[in-house]
Amino acid sequence: MSWQATSLAADDNVATLLAAAASGGRVVVMTPGGELEIIAREAIALCHKIALVDIAQGAAVVKYGDCIGEATAPIRCGAWVHTHNLRSRRARLAEGQAP
C-alpha cells in the first residue's frame, strides 16, 4: 500500500502530507510504528499538516518529535493543522511569553 503522509517520531500528533488530501479521502501515514490510516476531514494541501489524533485546545502540537506550538482550538483527527488552529512557539517567544 502506498502512503501519502509521514511522521518521524513516535510521539508526533501530526503528519506532513506528501500529496494533497481531498475532503473525506483516505490518507495512509507512515509512522515509526508502521502504517496508520486516517480520513481527511477537509481538503489539505501538499506539505501541510494533518492531525493524527484529536488534539485538545492548549495541547502541544508535535511534529518530527518537537513541539512546534499549541492548539488554539480543539483539532479533530484528520483535520488540517495550520495557523487557524495552531499558535507557533516562535510567535509566543516573539511576544515575550514563555514557550
Spatial separation of the C-alpha atoms in residues 44 and 78, rounded to whole Å: 10
Phi, psi of 94 (to 5 degrees): -65, -30
The whole-number pLDDT of residue 70 equals 95
The whole-number pLDDT of residue 89 equals 74
- pLDDT digit string (tens) for 51-80? 999 999 999 999 999 999 999 999 999 999
The whole-number pLDDT of residue 56 equals 98
* Bridge partners for 15 per DSSP: 50
Mean pLDDT on 10-32: 97
- Domains of the chain with CATH codes: 5-94 (2.30.130.110)
What pTM did the predictor assign? 0.89
Phi, psi of 80 (to 5 degrees): -70, 130
Hey, which bits of the chain come out as E strands? 5-6, 14-17, 26-31, 34-39, 49-51, 60-63, 66-71, 80-81, 86-88
